[in-house]
Chain A
Amino acid sequence: MQKHLTLEQKDARLGVKLVLPALSIILLLILYPVGYNIYLSFFDVTMTGQSTYIALENYTSVLSDPTFWKSVATTFTYVIFSTFGTTLFGLIVAMVMNKKFPLRWLVRSIILLPYVAPVISVVFAWQFFFDPVNGIFMHFMVDVLGIYDQRFNLIGSPSYAIWVAIIFSIWKSFPFTYLMLLSRLQTIDKNLYEAAEIDGCGPVRKFFSITLPELYFVMGSIVLLRFIWNFNKFEDIYLLTDNVKVLSIYTYFKAFTGNMDLGQGSALVVIQFGLLIGLILLYVKKVLKW
Chain B
Amino acid sequence: MKRLSRIMTVVLITMLLVPFAVFAQGDTEMVTEETTGPVAFEFWSTETQSDRQATIQVLIDTYEALNPDVSIKLIPVDENDMAAQLQTASSAGTLPAMIEIGAENAVAFGVDGLMNVDATQALIDRVGADSFYEGAMKLVESEDGEPYALPYHGWVQGIWYRSDWFEEAGLEAPDTWENIQKAAEYFYKPAENQYGILVGTKPENYAEQCFTPFAMSNGARLFDSDGNLIFNSPEMKEAVEFYAELAKYNPPGPQTWRARDYYLQGKMAMFFYSTYIMDDLSLAEVAAGSLTAENFSDLAGKDFDPELVDHTKMQPLITNTETAGYGVVVTMGLINQPDEAKTQAAADFLRYLYTPNAYITFLHMAPGGMNPVIKGIASNARYQNDPKGIFKHYGPEKMAEISEGMNDIVSFSIVDGKKINAATEVTTQQIIPQMLYKITQEGMDVDAAMAWAEKEMKALLD
CB within 8 Å of B: which residues of A? 46-49, 128, 131-134, 136, 139, 149-158, 242-243, 256-260, 262
B112 within 8 A of A: yes
B190 near A150: Cβ-Cβ < 8 Å: yes
Interface string of B178-200 (1 = CB under 8 A from A): 00000000000011010100000
Q: How far is the CB of A151 from chain B (nearest CB, A)?
A: 5
Interface string of B77-116 (1 = CB under 8 A from A): 0001001101100110000000000000000010011100
Selected A-B contacts with CB under 8 Å, 23 pairs: A47-B90, A47-B109, A47-B112, A47-B113, A47-B114, A49-B91, A128-B291, A131-B291, A133-B195, A150-B190, A150-B191, A152-B252, A154-B253, A156-B254, A157-B441, A243-B254, A243-B441, A256-B83, A256-B87, A257-B84, A257-B430, A258-B430, A260-B84
Q: How far is the CB of A14 from chain B (nearest CB, A)?
A: 21
B416 within 8 A of A: no
Write out the residue numbers on chain A whose beta carbons fall within 8 Å of the beta carbon of B292: 134
Write out the residue numbers on chain B whose beta carbons fall within 8 Å of the beta carbon of A258: 428-430
A134-B296 contact, Cβ under 8 Å, with A47-B109, A47-B113, A158-B442? yes
B454 within 8 A of A: no
List the 9 shortest-distance A-B pairs measured between CB atoms, nearest first. A153-B253, A156-B253, A256-B84, A132-B252, A258-B429, A47-B112, A153-B252, A156-B254, A134-B291
B428 near A259: Cβ-Cβ < 8 Å: yes
Write out the residue numbers on chain B whose beta carbons fall within 8 Å of the beta carbon of A158: 441-442
B262 near A48: Cβ-Cβ < 8 Å: no
Given contacts A134-B296, A243-B441, 5 further A-B contacts (CB under 8 A): A139-B299, A151-B252, A156-B253, A257-B80, A259-B429
CB within 8 Å of A: which residues of B? 80, 83-84, 86-87, 90-91, 109, 112-114, 190-191, 193, 195, 202-203, 251-255, 259, 261-262, 265, 267, 291-292, 296, 299, 336, 425, 428-430, 441-442, 460
Q: For residue A46, which residue of chain B has the nearest CB?
A: B112
Write out the residue numbers on chain A whose beta carbons fall within 8 Å of the beta carbon of B429: 258-259
Write out the residue numbers on chain B whose beta carbons fall within 8 Å of the beta carbon of A49: 90-91
CA gap between A154 and B442 in the complex, in Å: 14
Write out the residue numbers on chain A whose beta carbons fall within 8 Å of the beta carbon of B109: 47
Write out the residue numbers on chain A whose beta carbons fall within 8 Å of the beta carbon of B195: 133
CA gap between A153 and B83 in the complex, in Å: 30
B91 near A151: Cβ-Cβ < 8 Å: no
Q: How far is the CB of B34 from chain A (nearest CB, A)?
A: 23
Q: How far is the CB of B271 from chain A (nearest CB, A)?
A: 13
Write out the residue numbers on chain B whose beta carbons fall within 8 Å of the beta carbon of A139: 296, 299
Q: CB < 8 Å: which of A47, A136, A260 contacts B296?
A: A136
Write out the residue numbers on chain B whose beta carbons fall within 8 Å of the beta carbon of A150: 190-191, 252
Write out the residue numbers on chain B whose beta carbons fall within 8 Å of the beta carbon of A136: 296
Write out the residue numbers on chain B whose beta carbons fall within 8 Å of the beta carbon of A242: 202-203
CA gap between A153 and B252 in the complex, in Å: 5
A259 near B112: Cβ-Cβ < 8 Å: no
Q: How far is the CB of A68 from chain B (nearest CB, A)?
A: 15
CA gap between A99 and B285 in the complex, in Å: 50
Write out the residue numbers on chain B whose beta carbons fall within 8 Å of the beta carbon of A151: 190, 193, 252
Q: For residue A47, which residue of chain B has the nearest CB?
A: B112
Write out the residue numbers on chain A whose beta carbons fall within 8 Å of the beta carbon of B202: 156, 242
B83 near A260: Cβ-Cβ < 8 Å: yes
B425 near A259: Cβ-Cβ < 8 Å: yes
CA gap between A158 and B262 in the complex, in Å: 22
Most buried by B among A149, A256, A262: A256
A133-B90 contact, Cβ under 8 Å, with A152-B253, A156-B254, A259-B460? no
Write out the residue numbers on chain A whose beta carbons fall within 8 Å of the beta carbon of B261: 134
CA gap between A152 and B251 in the complex, in Å: 8
CA gap between A156 and B254 in the complex, in Å: 6
Write out the residue numbers on chain A whose beta carbons fall within 8 Å of the beta carbon of B91: 49
Q: For residue B194, which residue of chain A has the nearest CB?
A: A133
